[in-house]
Amino acid sequence: MAKHIISLTVNGVREYVEVPSNMTLLTLLRERLGLTGTKDGCSAGECGACTVLMNFEPVNACLTLAVEAEDAVILTVEGLPQDGRLDPVQQAIIDHGATQCGFCTPGVILSARALLDRNPSPSEWEIKDALRGNLCRCTGYTRIIRAIQDAAVGGADD
Amino acid sequence: MTEHHEVPSPIGEKVKRVDALDKVTGEAVFADDLKFGSDLLHGRVVRSVHPHALIKGIDSSKALTLPGVKAVVTGEDTTNRIGLYLKDRYTFCRDRVRYVGDPVAGVIATSVEIAETGCDLIDIEYQFLEPVLDPLQGIQERAPLIHPDLGEYPVADFIFPKPGTNISNHFKVRKGDVEAAWSNCEVIIEKSFHVPHIQHAPIEPHVAVAQVDHTGRITLWGSSQSPFAQRNLIAESLGISQRDVRVISPYVGGGFGSKAGVSMEALAVVMAQAVPGHPVKVRLTREEEFFCAFVRQGLVAKIKVGATKDGKLLAMKTEYYWDAGAYTEYGVNITRAAGYSSTGPYEIPNVWCDSYCVYTNHPVGGPMRGFGMPEIHWGIEQVMDMVAEELQMDKVDFRLLNCLRAGSITATGSEMHPTGLTECITQSAQAIQWSTEETASAPHKRRGKGIAIMWKAPAMPPNAGSSAWIRFNEDATISIGIGGQELGQGSHTVATQMAAATLGVPMEWIHISGPIDTEYSPYEWQTVASRLTWSMGNAIVEAAKDARGQILDLVAEHWGEDSQNLDIKEGLVISYRSEQTLPLQNLVVYGLPKADGSGWRGGPIIGHGNFMPTYVTSLDYETGQGERAVVHFTTGCQAVDLEVDTETGQITLLRVASAFDVGKAINPDQVRAQMEGGVVQGASTTLFEHLKLEDGVPVNPSFVDYRIASSVDAPAEIIPIIVEVPQDDGPWGARGIGEHSMVPTAPAIANALADALNLRILDLPLTAEKVFFALQEKGGAT
Amino acid sequence: MILPLPDLPSFDYIRPKSYQQVSELLHQQSEDVRPFMGGTDLFVQMRDQIIAPKILVDVKLLPGMISIEYDHEVGLHLGAAVNLNAIAKHPEVIEYYPLLVEAANSVASYQLRNRATIGGNLCNASPAADMAPSLLILEAKLIAVGLNGERVIPVNEFFRAPGENALERGELLKRIEIKPPPEGWFGKYLKLGRNAEGDLAIAGVAVLGFPDQTAESGYRFRIALSSVAPTPIQALKAEEILNQGPISEESIEAAAITSRDACQPIDDVRASGNYRKAMVEVLIRRGLEEVWSAIQVGG
């Protein structure tokens, strides 16, 4: 099986890695780059626990090949805080008690971040719709939705 | 009393989760995130493709020649049976497979891919046996026997298997004279209900890594609700000391029961024994989760209830047939819990119950949030609605008339403790404007309201214990050792609050030591049964009191005062008598110098505490009667306001009110969070979830076809309501809430649907298709 | 074993230099080579061991594969590897083909739609393909490229059987061409899943209507369905009822019933065939009512 040497930017850091063709972006992040904040919940693009931003758009890292990330800019949950300050979505999740077991949380946060980037003041329905690919078995979603509404307002103030 | 400023106690306050920062930053470590270096090997498992067969031969020779394969293990490598209440299985099958997915062999290799290829190279010869695919078939006299050796299995003394049958437990209740009572009933309703298998579907799949050193000592890292129970059961099954098994478990990415007891973890241990020195990792795929992790047992429930003309419940007879699957880690005790809770939260003078745990060739039934209670309440609460309908009584009034109160006698002849059930009923009914008829949003839609009540006790051995320690650092910050696991329910936060309140220090000073490590963490039976706030909480309070007592005695001696006059407030020891103060810093580790320079007193403070209920009595085998069947019951109620599309059968939940008597909400915000999450998980299991089994094979083992509620499915409004009638032996009066919040959801939805459409569906789930055809059969909506 | 592989099996990943190279690869080793765009279905099929390609050719890197072009004269040209979010976000698609936006947004989740492509949705030839009904009623043309250059396949000739499309050995779907929308048109994609949004369709219905003097009723309707037959299908008889007119509650009902009767749905893990049939009738009626009220007002 062929290997590929690729370069990509992950959380602002330029990385050069050799990856086999069948390595997913998820495996690259978790096992090569040690970024275990991105989770593997189904390996089939259904649960959203592996959601990361690739060139500023959310993707299921389990269904994306590492080699496709050549020259891409990747953002994972570890890269969200800026200058030691949490992203407003992260802060809102804490404030609203919108995490329980926490396994879906990084993916939820990245989906929400991307939503607010493309739509700074989403309606409740738009939030629900943007999150429908991030399964959460604990919270019942209500607090997550409120947290994102809050982050949207707070984000506008920033 | 001397003047001092009151320090607010964190108990009952809105306090943020102590684990939230870890979880929003990705810092929280889960078992799959642990790193093991290049020695790590990977295990994959060859699983039975037949529901029931004898193993005639296993040929591993081809697999062993595959480069990268280090070893193959089979049932030959296991000696003793394993199991929590009934030791009924080998970690790898020895002579027989009993479900599709039963582990037959394990391949250990340098990569997952090689291990998987190795699995494909193992040839297994089977002799097929007739399967049992239904509990009603399983109890027939001529049914194929799934466990011919049932009589030889070690079993807990409150579980009663019937050797020579497929019944692994039979729990009976005989109270009053049910048969005589029917003739005094004005209304009798008798119905049969079916609850299918569902799956817990935590977002984190199971993962375990085991390593065996050259002396045979075992370390197991895993995602576990039960590190101590795993240590105990695995040690017993291997015939080694608990001392020589160490279980380490970081954060758990959702459990709901699926990570309780021992499921796949023992596979990793047996595989690791074949390659001493190497850690061996086994991780279930999502699809394996559906095949091979626990499922919630199926249930066939036959329920007969009678009431007098004035609406008083007089008699209730139930038969519960649990589809326990191939083995019964917890199923036997779910069967028991269903028996002693068989009436639901009602006072009924004449009760008869037979609850049978029946082996089938289905996936292994395990505990799932509610431990049998969502399943039995599905039928109970619909039957109660039907009785009320027949009597033309309001369903809220009917429940208020018959529900348990303090002093009521339960099905097992025990006296009910104080409980806020009536308050839960009235408040949740009020929250959805129970008596107000609402208009549907379109001509083809119908609106309906329904209500359901519940009770649930922690179902556990009578002497399940907890312990805790509290240790100070030099700067008076505190490490707390607990063996209870943070699954998302918020136990770390509650533990921190309780310790801070008892010690008199700010919450921020406290850190919960982690990961849970049986080598260093104090004993905790298991993180199940919604028991931590109550049981572990008591242990923490004891530990904090112990530490506090040591500190006060030390300072009292130092000051020449009586420790009775001393207190700790915000980390300062204060004297109400002399008004002296002393910060905790340093003295909690270094002690205090004697005033005359003759030396020091004190030493590093470490407090310890434990809790174990001592008052639970056994129940008579023939009648199920006893003085105190359980430690306590949490009661509650949910009221649902929904709309149903009569053209498609789709149900939309508009409002769900959820009221529970938690004794005391240590952290009200987290209690509400449990209620919200419980409603949505409950709604998901009601509307969508069904692990479909065809000849024992799960045919929808993925999130594509096993739908769980996503954000767009959450009810428009959830109204959580906290009721507080204190528990006499709970910390600050608290009792559990984690599981309870999804118990009444399904029947509440079914009752609302009945209100909307005037039809009853007795089988879960209430899919749009099922509702549509039920409506067609009835001849359409009125 | 019935369980999928834990990881993606081995394959080689190739970045092609030209359409010609892709066609040659596909022609020479058709069993072993697969064009690869989003991977959302492909990887799942590979883990399920339904297919085991040795080479994946990342065709989305070829020129034009991810382009969206709109022209009032020519209409809309979509590269086959355009992802569904790109369609749903494109200003001219939103303005002129809102039906496509609805269909695209009905698929799975936002993050999956960043990967799932329109070409993949069509080429899988799933009976449940969400983009297919809309493209059928918009009379899209599919441009395939092979060793002998480009070939046009009308979309209604593209779906052969479940999982089987009209591409020949060596051919790659390159582009989807859709005419400019008819004047005064309105379209609707209605989909029923097991939960509120994002499921595979139990039944999917696309309805389009526009004023047309050549039709007896003065309006022309088009109807297509997914998940209710071995391939996505058009409900031509039902269309005919409406085209003949007059448009009324009765003719809409007749069209809905006729559509229902045109289906040959199967029972599967998602729904029974009978439920699917019943739902087709409901969805078509709802779709037609909405379209009819919109084009009357708009027209």
pLDDT (tens digit per residue) in B690-739:
999 999 999 999 999 999 999 999 999 999 999 999 999 999 999 999 99
**Whether A111 and A148 share a structural domain:** yes
Spatial separation of the C-alpha atoms in residues C92 and B541, rounded to whole Å: 65
Using a CB-CB cut-off of 8 Å, the residues of chain C touching B654 are none
Q: Which amino acid is at B597?
A: G
**Whether A54 and A95 share a structural domain:** no
DSSP-based three-state secondary structure for C153 = strand
| Angle in degrees, CA B36, B37, B42, rounded to 5 | 65
Q: Are strands B572-575 and B218-222 parallel, antiparallel or unpaired?
A: unpaired
Give the pLDDT score at C31. 85
pLDDT (tens digit per residue) in C16-66:
999 999 999 999 988 899 999 999 999 999 999 999 999 999 999 999 999
Three-state SS for B645-687 is ECCCCCEEEEEEEEEEECCCCCCHHHHHHHHHHHHHHHHHHHH
Q: How far is CA B285 from CA A95, B102, C50, in A?
A: 33, 15, 18
**Whether A75 and A96 share a structural domain:** no
Decide if B421 contacts B335 (C-beta within 8 A).
Answer: no
Spatial separation of the C-alpha atoms in residues B341 and B335, rounded to whole Å: 10
**Partner residue opposite B648 with nearest CB, options C2, C270, C282:** C282
**Partner residue opposite A133 with nearest CB, options C7, C11, C109:** C109
Interchain CB distance below 8 Å, C39 and A20? no
The answer to whether C269 contacts chain B (CB < 8 Å) is yes
Q: DSSP letter string over B681-719?
A: HHHHHHHT----EETTEES--STTTS----GGGS-SEEE
Q: Which chains touch B (3 or more CB pairs under 8 A)?
A: A, C
Spatial separation of the C-alpha atoms in residues B626 and B617, rounded to whole Å: 6
Beta bridge partners, B211, equal B219
- The count of other CB atoms within 10 Å of the CB of residue B508 is 10
Using a CB-CB cut-off of 8 Å, the residues of chain C touching B100 are 2
Residue B309, classified by CB atoms within 10 Å of its CB into exposed (0-12), middle (13-18) or buried (19+), is exposed
Q: Which amino acid is at B105?
A: A
Domains and CATH numbers, chain B: 20-28+464-611 (3.30.365.10), 34-129+215-254+259-283 (3.90.1170.50), 295-460+618-778 (3.30.365.10)
Q: Which CATH fold topology does C12-60 show?
A: 3.30.43
Give the contacts of B430 (CB within 8 A, at least 6 positions apart).
Answer: none
- The CATH number linked to A110 is 1.10.150.120
Q: pLDDT band for position B1 (50/70/90)?
A: very low
The residue range of the domain holding A31 is: 3-79
The dihedral built from the CA positions of residue C245, C248, C254 and C257, taken in this order, carries a sign that is positive
Q: pLDDT band for position B258 (50/70/90)?
A: very high
Instruction: Return the residue of A nearest to B17 by Cα.
Output: A97
Query: How many pairs of residues across B and C have Cβ atoms under 8 Å apart?
Result: 67
Spatial separation of the C-alpha atoms in residues C124 and C104, rounded to whole Å: 16
Give the pLDDT score at C219. 94
pLDDT (tens digit per residue) in B13-63:
999 999 999 999 999 999 999 999 999 999 999 999 999 999 999 999 999
Spatial separation of the C-alpha atoms in residues C10 and B385, rounded to whole Å: 58
Instruction: Give the single-character DSSP code of B297.
Output: P
**Whose structure tokens read 């943070």?**
B486
Using a CB-CB cut-off of 8 Å, the residues of chain A touching B720 are none
Instruction: Return the residue of C nearest to B773 by Cα.
Output: C275
Spatial separation of the C-alpha atoms in residues C222 and C212, rounded to whole Å: 12
Using a CB-CB cut-off of 8 Å, the residues of chain B touching A142 are 676, 680, 714, 718
Quick one: what percent of chain C has pLDDT higher than 70? Answer: 99
Q: Give C235→chain A minimum CA distance, Å.
A: 31
Spatial separation of the C-alpha atoms in residues B17 and B565, rounded to whole Å: 34
What angle in degrees, to the nearest 10, is found between the helix axes of C249-262 and C236-244?
160
Structure tokens at B579: 């008004």
Interchain CB distance below 8 Å, B769 and C199? no
The answer to whether A3 contacts chain C (CB < 8 Å) is no
The answer to whether C112 contacts chain A (CB < 8 Å) is yes
**Whether A75 and A116 share a structural domain:** no
The answer to whether C261 contacts chain B (CB < 8 Å) is no
- Mutation for testing the B interface, residue in A138, A143, A144, A145 having most B CBs under 10 Å: A138
Spatial separation of the C-alpha atoms in residues C190 and B103, rounded to whole Å: 44
Q: Which CATH fold topology does C186-298 show?
A: Enolase-like; domain 1 (3.30.390)
CATH code for the domain defined by C68-178:
3.30.465.10
Cα dihedral B485, B489, B492, B493, rounded to 10, equals: 180
Distinct helix (H) and strand (E) counts, chain A: 5, 5
Give the pLDDT score at B628. 95
Using a CB-CB cut-off of 8 Å, the residues of chain A touching B281 are none
DSSP-based three-state secondary structure for C212 = coil
Q: Are strands C75-79 and C68-71 parallel, antiparallel or unpaired?
A: antiparallel
pLDDT at A155 over 60: no
What mean pLDDT is reported for chain A? 96
Q: Give B775→chain C minimum CA distance, Å.
A: 12
Task: Tell how far CA C191 is from the center of its chain.
Answer: 13
Q: pLDDT band for position B758 (50/70/90)?
A: very high
**Whether A105 and A142 share a structural domain:** yes
Q: Which of A79, A108, A124 is the last residue of a domain?
A: A79
pLDDT (tens digit per residue) in B514-536:
999 999 999 999 999 999 999 99
The answer to whether A146 contacts chain C (CB < 8 Å) is no
Residue C177 phi/psi, 5° resolution?
A: -115, 130
Give the pLDDT score at B477. 97
Instruction: Give the single-character DSSP code of B523.
Output: P
pLDDT at B7 over 60: no
Give the pLDDT score at B3. 44
Spatial separation of the C-alpha atoms in residues B388 and B308, rounded to whole Å: 11
Give the pLDDT score at A75. 98
Give the pLDDT score at B604. 97
Interchain CB distance below 8 Å, C279 and B287? no
The answer to whether A103 contacts chain B (CB < 8 Å) is yes
pLDDT at B323 over 90: yes
Using a CB-CB cut-off of 8 Å, the residues of chain A touching B200 are 137
Using a CB-CB cut-off of 8 Å, the residues of chain B touching A33 are none
Interchain CB distance below 8 Å, A41 and B256? no
Q: pLDDT band for position C1 (50/70/90)?
A: low
Domain boundaries, chain C: 12-60, 68-178, 186-298
pLDDT at C297 over 90: no
Using a CB-CB cut-off of 8 Å, the residues of chain A touching C105 are 129
**Whose structure tokens read 């779910």?**
B334
**Whether A75 and A38 share a structural domain:** yes
What mean pLDDT is reported for chain B? 97
**Partner residue opposite A65 with nearest CB, options C13, C85, C114:** C13
The answer to whether B111 contacts chain A (CB < 8 Å) is no
Strand locations in B432-570 (E): 445-456, 466-472, 478-482, 510-512, 516-517, 566-569
Give the pLDDT score at B781. 81
Decide if B343 contacts B454 (C-beta within 8 A).
Answer: no
Q: pLDDT band for position A156 (50/70/90)?
A: very low
Residue B340, classified by CB atoms within 10 Å of its CB into exposed (0-12), middle (13-18) or buried (19+), is buried
Q: How far is CA A113 from CA A43, B159, B177, C23, in A?
A: 22, 52, 64, 40
Rg of chain B taking only CA atoms, in angstroms: 27
Interchain CB distance below 8 Å, A102 and B22? yes
Give the pLDDT score at C245. 83
Give the pLDDT score at B4. 47
Interchain CB distance below 8 Å, C115 and A59? yes
Q: Are strands C55-58 and C12-14 parallel, antiparallel or unpaired?
A: parallel
Number of structural domains found in chain A:
2
Structure tokens at B244: 């020589």
Structure tokens at B665: 């909400």
- Mutation for testing the C interface, residue in B644, B769, B770 having most C CBs under 10 Å: B769
Using a CB-CB cut-off of 8 Å, the residues of chain A touching C47 are 43-44
pLDDT (tens digit per residue) in A101-154:
999 999 999 999 999 999 999 999 999 999 999 999 999 999 999 999 999 986
Nearest to B332 by CA among B204, B455, B171: B171
| H or E element at residue B319 | strand B313-325
Give the pLDDT score at A157. 41
Q: Which chains touch A (3 or more CB pairs under 8 A)?
A: B, C
Q: Average of pLDDT values for B238-266?
A: 97
Interchain CB distance below 8 Å, C43 and A133? no
**Whether A126 and A102 share a structural domain:** yes
The answer to whether B285 contacts chain A (CB < 8 Å) is yes
- The CATH number linked to A42 is 3.10.20.30
Q: How far is CA B582 from CA B2, B16, B24, B475, B575, in A?
A: 16, 29, 38, 13, 9
Q: pLDDT band for position B6 (50/70/90)?
A: low
